[in-house]
Structure 1
Amino acid sequence: MAVPERLKGIAPLQGELVTLPSVQELRPVNSFEEAYVAEIDIKLSNVVVKLLETNYPRNPELSLSHLRRLLRPEHLPEPLKRELEESQQRQGSPSKPAASIHVLIPPPLPEISEIQTLLAPYAPKTPIEADTTNPPPEPLQPIIRIQKTVISTKPPTTIAEAQEWSRTKWSTVYNPAARSAIHAPPQVQLIRAKASISPRAGYFLALAREVAGETLRSGRGRGVGAVIVDPELLTGKSDDTDELLNSVVAVAGDTRWWKASLEKHAEGATQEKKEPDADDEGGPESHAVMRGISMVSRKRIALNNPVTSEPESSTPSEVESAPLSPTSLESHFFQLPNLLKSSKGGYLCTALDLYVTHEPCICCSMGMLLSRFRSVTVLQSGMRRSGEGNSLDAVHGYGLHWREELNWRAIGFEFTESEVGGDKAGEEFNA
């Protein structure tokens, strides 16, 4: 059957698109460090803050914008307020309260004696009642009162968490906008991506399953298929089959058994289904996702050098011998002149969407992030549910699609079929 006819017969999968949670959402890690609190003259607070920033620069890796720098005595957290009152009772209260304010000194921390020496000229002035009979003695060098507390080096994830930290540790501000970019996709970005992907995910995943089936039947690799789509080509377009197919930049299947299939073909073996040993498998460069990225790369070369780098037309022998040689479906989409010049950065797959039948391996997931995909959508039947090596599963694995440690993040989705057919994949392997 000709490729266009096969594509016309693909029926979209029916199901629901669910957002993959991030590691930060499921396993929030709070980082607390010790800090100092110094009592100073309220009139000199601005001078003291500048002095501290000059002598003790903050760690540039820590963003402490969620912490207040200055607090009046009445706004101190309960433990610090109680400690301050007990200290004043032991020393005897002055006739009038000192006009003081408390400044936070975050890590890295110097010696307490060093801070007391530096801030001594800025100690709060304690009023002394006039006594004409006994003139006051020479004033002693004031001592800066230093207290210890604990601060969070990461912003709070909820209002309740900010309130609890303010009550027990130090005054903390909750900023929803600051949280979203670190812990999970910003709501605006997530809503737009989901609205764009949800109506079409069933069709593109059905196409990925068709690519996987072609790969499996050829004996070149496992039944894994990947489809790469440019959502910009669908902007303002209808969701009929022709428009959906025209937005597909590349498709790729798995070829990890291509060497074994060559040997089998050379020996004139029958087409009996027999899975090669693990030692026969190729590396991640033979996986569907990495092959799809390579095809986008080759199309970009052809786009930038149309005269010298036109898509190659391989002979049958070359198709059988090269790891990146296309199948009929791969060749069809590779030859479509639908790859737009990148206007959003110089990376291979900036703003493109990836649909894959199985959860990619760790190497492929990192390749996906380095290529700057906008999103990745995986069939639920292809998500691994055990093992710590899961790449996208944030429950048991790494949740690489959205981790604050990485310099790029892709929105992750899982497509749950409402009625799973008989070809549901239950294999446990890295795709």
Structure 2
Amino acid sequence: MDLEGVLQDIRPVAGHVIPIKTVQEARPAEEFGPALDSKFPRDPSQPLSHLRRFAKYPQLSDSIRTAFAQGEPSPHTIFVLISPPLPEKQAIQELLAPFAPAPQPPSQSSTDHTDASTPVPQSAPTPQIHIHTTIIPIQPPLNPSQAEKWTKNLWPVVYNPAAPRATIAPPPQILNRVHESIKPKTGRYLALARKVAAEAEQSGLGRGVGAVVVDPELEDQIVDMYGDGDEFDTHWTDAIVAVAGDARYSRREAGAMSEAEIQLGPGPNPNAKVYNSDMEGGPELHALMRAAELIACKRRGEVPSAEMMVRPLEGHFLAQSETKKVSEEKDEGESTVSAPPEKYQRTDEGGRAVPVSKQDEPVPRIRSRSQGGYLCTDLDVYLTHEPCVCCSMGMLLSRFRAVVFPRQGRMVTGGLASTPVAGPVADGEDEGVELEGQPERMYYGLHWRKELNWRALGFEFIEDEPVEPAAYDEVDYHA
């Protein structure tokens, strides 16, 4: 099998990349907005510092103003925002009544000789507290225009550029920088991931799921050295540090043969036609976790065991990882590429960070632990399918920089997306179209979930040409 020829024949998939919506962005505000809706209690710890606590009538939105049938109130009237959870309406009125000015008593007639200073508690008018419910934004605005829109339509808000926006979605500067970095090359890596997936499927060892791990630092070196023209077309695979396909049918249980070994001859495994949890192996045999394990083996200076069932494409890039980095392929006198920032490793000598200079020894594509390599830090992974919950958490702990998968590969069992599986469309909007007859539900949405220390940027690839909705007609399984 001429692997070099296979790689050169790969043609990029045409399409464009969009960021994955986080669960905070995808969750509809109506679920939290009505102030007295007891079915959706607000989190008492939710910070609402972006909302004005007090407001005057001219500052209110049109929707709140229309609630006053008697027209504009007194200029001295102050509107107070009381955020949920709320007590009973009567309790609020009793609480605020002492702070409200008492209504003016009716004027005395000329024939009334009653002493006006005499208190008449029974007939004294009670201050009237009007309570209205409204919808408020629970997250701070992301820009001044959004703050202005929310103030006009909901409740007066304040835009603070220093607010911790990263709890809602990735910071725009980082997101845009990574998006621009991966956009030109995503089609190539996804095309290779499909080749790896096909190899995994035809081997009978797993389902048709593939992963390609890329070092963006090597990408930059290739572009600096060869440009992004025809020369790059020849060297684009030099930035790949590992590929891996699914191998869920390769596990041996209690010394018995694996499902792949039971099958006679090459070709897709018959178990792939259905979903049987007893035949699916574990998440460590999924493509993403196998790619992380291959990289971990190189970090530790080990050789992958025979149980890993390394296939030709996987072995090819595993061997390539031993070669020097792109910037070292030129002679020292001819090199025009600046050295990458020094990597640091922790030592036992008082926790002192020791720089590892590439002048000491040639640095391979996958640095060992002694050379500063650590997990999958700052690497990008391209997948044919949305990873399952276990793999998504493994990706989080492995410290990848970015993850990209095609919208066609969105899975109902996937762990990243926050919106329902959508039919592939040639635009950037995800309407969250559910399959007909299926109940609408929220998906796991681990991507940038504020409860997690999430840092991997998630992207979806939308193909330009119409594609078959493979996520619909396949058996639901965990990728």
Q: TM-score, normalised by structure 2?
A: 0.60
Letter in 1 for 2:134: V
Q: Deviations over 1:361-404 (max 9, x none)?
A: 34323433443433222246x525xx743555634273736464
Q: Please say if 1:252 is aligned against 2:244.
A: yes
Q: Please say if 1:383 is aligned against 2:409.
A: yes
Matched residue SS, 1:199: coil
Q: Deviations over 1:267-322 (max 9, x none)?
A: 7x75253623345332222111121122334444x2xxxxxxx21264xxxx2xx1
Give percent identity, aligned residues only: 36
Distance 1:333 1:402, change over 3 A: same
Preserved CA contact (<8 Å) 2:402 2:458: yes
Q: Deviations over 1:38-94 (max 9, x none)?
A: xxxxxxxxxxxxxxxxxxxx9553232342211124444567657667599xxxx9x
Aligned counterpart in structure 2 of residue 400 of structure 1, from 421, 445, 468: 445
Where do 5+ consecutive residues of structure 1 fail to align?
36-57, 303-309
Aligned counterpart in structure 1 of residue 267 of structure 2, from 270, 273, 277: 273
Report the counterpart of residue 222 of structure 2 in structure 1.
237
Report the counterpart of residue 224 of structure 1 in structure 2.
209
After TM superposition, the structure 1 = structure 2 runs for residues 267-416 of structure 1, keeping only pairs within 5 Å, are 270-273=264-267, 275-277=269-271, 278=276, 279-300=278-299, 302=300, 310-312=301-303, 314=305, 319=306, 322=307, 324-334=308-318, 335-336=321-322, 337-339=364-366, 348-379=375-406, 383-384=409-410, 388-391=412-415, 394-396=419-421, 398=443, 400=445, 402=447, 404=449, 407=452, 408=454, 410-414=457-461, 416=463
- The answer to which structure has the higher strand fraction is 1
Report the counterpart of residue 334 of structure 2 in structure 1.
none
Preserved CA contact (<8 Å) 1:14 1:418: no
Preserved CA contact (<8 Å) 2:376 2:400: yes
Aligned counterpart in structure 2 of residue 215 of structure 1, from 178, 183, 200: 200
Report the counterpart of residue 117 of structure 2 in structure 1.
136
Distance 1:288 1:313, change over 3 A: closer
Deviation of 1:227 after TM superposition, in Å, equals 0.9
Letter in 1 for 2:313: L
Across the aligned residues of Structure 1 and Structure 2, the Cα RMSD in angstroms comes to: 4.9
Q: Deviations over 1:191-249 (max 9, x none)?
A: 32222112222332233233334333433222322111121332353253675434323
Matched residue SS, 2:270: coil
Preserved CA contact (<8 Å) 2:97 2:129: no
Matched residue SS, 2:222: coil
Q: TM-score, normalised by structure 1?
A: 0.66
Letter in 2 for 1:101: I
Preserved CA contact (<8 Å) 2:214 2:381: yes
Q: Deviations over 1:335-372 (max 9, x none)?
A: 53323589xxx984343211122333343234334434
Distance 1:9 1:177, change over 3 A: same
Distance 1:22 1:206 in 2: 24
Preserved CA contact (<8 Å) 2:196 2:209: yes
Letter in 2 for 1:351: D
Where do 5+ consecutive residues of structure 2 fail to align?
37-41, 323-363, 423-442
Report the counterpart of residue 79 of structure 2 in structure 1.
102
Distance 1:276 1:63, change over 3 A: same
Distance 1:297 1:130 in 2: 88
Distance 1:402 1:253 in 2: 23
Letter in 2 for 1:15: A
